[in-house]
Copies of this chain bind each other. A is one copy, B any other.
Amino acid sequence: MAQNIYDQSEFFAGYSAMRRSVEGLDGAAEWPAVRTQLPDLTGKRVVDLGCGFGWFARYARSVGAASVLGLDISENMIGRARADTRDDAITYRISDLEELELPEASFDFAHSSLAFHYVKNFERLVATVYRALVPGSHFVFTIEHPIFMAPRHAGWGTDVDGQRIWPLDSYAIEGSRTTDWLAKGVVKYHRRLGTTINTLVSAGFAIRHVEEWAPSEQDLIGHPEWAEELDRPTFLLVSVER
């Protein structure tokens, strides 16, 4: 079973105060890049893996999805998602992605935002999503970028000239990383970018787009603090087709 950090009160309070929790999709830097990768959702049966407060589920319905199943391990998240949603075509369910079961060929699109780096058995998860999708359907997800996850000390340092650097190490050493983000002892699973791609290819998916998110010049005018993302990526966006 995956760690359920979102139901720890300190973590949940911190997460709930983040811009993306308050403002929804438009509060997430990477959302415009994700939206560009979405297929036409009109009439589609959508599954959202790690649905959080339900922002994506409601968005999918607003652009024509027939139905959305939102899954999350956190009772806190599912509770608020249900409270914030008035739509019979959206179902929220508590579910551990580590042990996910989905009916075969029952969805036309799968989405996940920043959830899979909490999952240890990515291979099993990908195989489950593959079986749950009908042929020709798309699967778009974001995870924390492996460059962001890998280091012993995942925080900025300085180089010999005193300039900002990201102190990378242990990139090839896959497995758990324990960090103190919003709460102490958050467990994540580091996989190389190549491993993520190869797992998808082995399951049968065709790679469509891989984006190591960075701000545009236009983005930087509104958010000069995003300049850090030019030095090392935080978000990895992957789009595949079944």
Contact B163 A159 (CB under 8 A): no
Q: Is A40 on the interface with B (CB-CB < 8 A)?
A: no
Closest chain B residue to A196, Cβ basis: B210
Find chain B residues with CB under 8 A from A172 CB: 212, 214, 229-231, 233
How long is the Cα–Cα vector from A167 to B206 in the complex, in angstroms?
A: 33
Q: A152-B159, A198-B209 are in contact. Are A168 and B168 (CB under 8 A)?
A: yes
Give the total of A residues in contact with B, Cβ under 8 Å. 39
Q: Is A201 on the interface with B (CB-CB < 8 A)?
A: yes
- Contact for A171 among B157, B171, B232, CB less than 8 A: B232
A170-B230, A201-B207 known; 5 new pairs, CB 8 Å cut-off, are: A147-B168, A151-B165, A165-B168, A166-B167, A172-B229
The 22 sampled A-B contact pairs (Cβ below 8 Å) are A147-B171, A152-B159, A153-B160, A153-B161, A157-B157, A157-B160, A157-B167, A165-B169, A166-B171, A167-B167, A167-B168, A169-B231, A171-B212, A171-B230, A172-B231, A173-B230, A193-B193, A194-B209, A198-B210, A201-B208, A201-B209, A206-B206
